[in-house]
Amino acid sequence: MARRLVDAGHHVVVFDNQPSAIKALVDAGATSADRPADAAANSDIIMTSLPAGEQVGEVMGGQDGILAGVKPGSTLVDLSTIGPEWASRLAKDAASHGVTMLDAPVGGGWKDAEEGNLVIMVGGESAALDGVRTILEVLSSALFHFGGPGTGQAAKLALNMSQAVMTVGAAEAVRLLRALGADLPTFLETLESLDANPWFQRPLRHTIEGAYPAGFRVSLALKDARLATQSGKSAGVSLPGGELARDLLNKALDAGMGEEHFSAIVKLYDADAPKEPKTVS
């Protein structure tokens, strides 16, 4: 994402705890900073992308953090998936320093990030979004505003939870088809002819190919499923499908699948599958 902004001609100041990442961006034309505070002091728009809310909080706070160097009137855009509770809390911290914060988690993979085809789900003030829209459009093919602070996170969690639940459905479809002796590739062709959701087709295709390639990892899918079910609990709503998906992802992590594509949860159903298909009479 940072590389796309550099290539688009923007002045980009970068900080990362991995020197190799900084070097690659500096070689491309970015400027490096020694601390998040220094990066913020030289920027009107500050963007963060980190694995979890705790890490975003660490980068924002403290004497070396963003809020220690940020200029009042700046806009902070967090592209991480951290859940609505963290997003709302951090937006309040930013506001106390005269800074407006948008939660703007992204949908898509590495290729989408490289090509500027991410989907960005935004929560926060409309005026703040209007001020950074041209920047976000460099990164995305679609941009959606869901409401106040935390609502972008809510949309991202709902998206990822529905994808995880659909994958559980695909895993159970594989189990049933195998148990009854039906042909998996033919079933996939049937789904394609019905224009079935690609999220449902993907686990079936991975199973047929016998490989679960790199992508949205089990470990990250589990993190988001936990956030979704925690957010549902806080809101007083029951999410039984999301809880099932969370538990299966946790089981996949325990089985050593953490770095595989999360559709690898299909393999959990293979462990106790019947050796021979049943004959239906």
Closest to 141 in 3D by CA, of 103, 123, 102, 114? 114
Q: How many CB atoms lie within 10 A of CB 32?
A: 16
Residue 144, φ and ψ in degrees, nearest 5: -130, 135
Beta-bridge partner residues of 13: 31
Q: Is 23 one of the annotated active-site residues of the chain?
A: no
Joined tokens for residue 142: 């679609």
Secondary structure (3-state) at 123 = strand
Q: Spot the catalytic one: 71, 156, 223, 275.
A: 156
Long-range contacts of 31-36 (CB under 8 A, 24+ apart): 35/64, 35/69, 36/60, 36/64, 36/65, 36/66, 36/69
Closest to 83 in 3D by CA, of 58, 53, 55? 53
Q: How many CB atoms lie within 10 A of CB 52?
A: 16
- 3-state DSSP of 204-268: HHHHHHCCCCCCCEHHHHHHHHHHHHHHHHHHCCCCHHHHHHHHHHHHHHHCCCCCCEHHHHHHH
CA gap 250, 103 in Å, rounded: 26
Secondary structure (3-state) at 198 = helix
CA gap 75, 281 in Å, rounded: 66
What is the set of active-site residues? 156
